[in-house]
Amino acid sequence: MTELISNVTGPSAAVNAAAIAGNPRPKSKPHGPLRRLLHRSIHFFAYHLVLARRNTRITRAAGFRLSVRPTVFHPRYFLSSEYFADFISRLDLRGRHVIDVGTGSGILALAAARAGAEYVVAADINPNAALTAAENARANGLADHVRALCSNLLSAVAPRPLFDVILSSPPKHAGEPRDLADRGWHAGPDYRDIAALFDQARERLKPDGRVYVMVSSDSNLDLLSRLMDRAGFRAQIALERSIYIESFIIYELLAAQPAATTSSIRAINSAESGPASAAATHSASSRRFLTPSTTVSTPSDSA
Ligand SMILES: C[S@@+](CC[C@H](N)C(=O)[O-])C[C@H]1O[C@@H](n2cnc3c(N)ncnc32)[C@H](O)[C@@H]1O
């Protein structure tokens, strides 16, 4: 596979070169009482002011005009969405087959389509999110490239063809979600709701494909690392961005095979010293990922 990261440069792309060079992944830091209190307060306001709102909002984020239905993760108030969309905009996805797991408003799926992906599946367990992502793809002229569906992780996605790139910005915190809207924030005790993400991603990824997953420095990084390892991935930090109270981290995961890893390291290293000249040569394919019956349908196995 040719290098995907064609131009990760600029002040917003704080690529953590030490981690990419093979240093250990960050460890979870134990949270003291003050930190826990801060987090409970942030969640209280985020939940009552944003997540649990009852009206549809129109917003602009990452260059898209997006409508955001009730219960759907708001891509403007929560900074992680635009940071990840910005990262995706720097990937060369021409001709790639991509899935965005936990798509919310669809912002990351739209960013992947804008970056040249031939076909993007926008999947979410929240049916309002699947509807919203479909609407937003249409409104932004990307409906030919984006198909939304309601799915618990990848369970409602056809097993073949495999994906070149799997994107996910899952809920960052463990703990029981209060309701559907809160599933954008909480993933259940011990990340119950997303624990199978990495195993499923490994099964659906082309041998030379890659996964980009965003977590937070406040996530249980030890547990998430174990889940990635168990699925047979090697993880590297592709981007880390601090918002002072926490950092957002994008891991690049590759199947544990040396050949796939080196091209990615080369791409990121060359991007640090200036724009890389990576050009995707993947041939276009007209194969569809989904059968019509799975599009925006409610999964039978959703929690
Ligand atoms: C942090 S939000 C990210 C939304 C969007 N990707 C963004 O960046 O703005 C996490 C999303 O994952 C979805 N989600 C949570 N558990 C899921 C599961 N088991 N399967 C699919 N989606 C899930 C939530 O509904 C929510 O839309």
Model pLDDT, residue 33: 82
Confidence class for position 168, pLDDT limits 50, 70, 90: very high
Q: For residue 103, how far is its CA from the centre of ligand 1 (angstroms)?
A: 6
H helix intervals, 187-246: 197-204, 221-230
Q: For residue 184, how far is its CA from the centre of ligand 1 (angstroms)?
A: 5
Q: For residue 176, how far is its CA from the centre of ligand 1 (angstroms)?
A: 15
Within 8 A by CB and 6+ apart from 172, the residues are 80, 185, 187, 214, 215, 216, 218, 219
Q: For the chain, how many residues are written?
A: 303
* Closest residue CA from atom 2 of ligand 1: 184
CB 110 within 8 A of CB 63: no
- The mean pLDDT of the chain is 80
- Residue 47 CB less than 6 A away from ligand 1: no
- Residue 193 CB less than 6 A away from ligand 1: yes
Q: For residue 33, how far is its CA from the centre of ligand 1 (angstroms)?
A: 28
* Closest residue CA from atom 7 of ligand 1: 81
Q: What is the dihedral of CA 169, 170, 172, 176, to 10 degrees?
A: 160
CB 68 within 8 A of CB 59: yes
Atom of ligand 1 nearest to the CA of 185: 1
Place of tokens 């050009």: 279
CB 149 within 8 A of CB 130: yes
Confidence class for position 30, pLDDT limits 50, 70, 90: low
pLDDT: which is higher, 224 or 274: 224
Report the alpha-carbon distance of residue 260 to residue 210 in Å, rounded. 9
What is each CA distance from 258 to 136, 207, 271, in whole angstroms?
A: 38, 12, 20
- Residue 104 CB less than 6 A away from ligand 1: yes
Mean pLDDT to the nearest integer, 20-28: 53
Q: For residue 278, how far is its CA from the centre of ligand 1 (angstroms)?
A: 31
SS3 of residue 232 by DSSP: coil
- CATH code linked to domain 17-22+34-272: 3.40.50.150
Question: Does the structure show a pLDDT above 90 at 264?
Answer: no
- Residue 212 CB less than 6 A away from ligand 1: no
Residue in 124, 128, 246 to alter for ligand 1 test, most ligand atoms within 8 A of Cβ = 124
CB 115 within 8 A of CB 140: no
What is the Cα gyration radius of the chain?
18
- Residue 194 CB less than 6 A away from ligand 1: yes
- Residue 127 CB less than 6 A away from ligand 1: no
- Residue 177 CB less than 6 A away from ligand 1: no
Q: Indicate the domain borders of the chain.
A: 17-22+34-272
Confidence class for position 37, pLDDT limits 50, 70, 90: confident
SS3 of residue 115 by DSSP: coil
Atom of ligand 1 nearest to the CA of 168: 6
The lowest-confidence range among 64-78, 216-230, 271-285 is 271-285
The number of angstroms, rounded, from the C-alpha of 227 to the middle of its chain's C-alpha atoms is: 16
pLDDT tens string 188-247: 999 999 999 999 999 999 999 999 999 999 999 999 999 999 999 999 999 999 998 889
- Residue 267 CB less than 6 A away from ligand 1: no
- Residue 246 CB less than 6 A away from ligand 1: no
pTM for this entry:
0.80
Model pLDDT, residue 274: 31
Question: Does the structure show a pLDDT above 70 at 261?
Answer: no
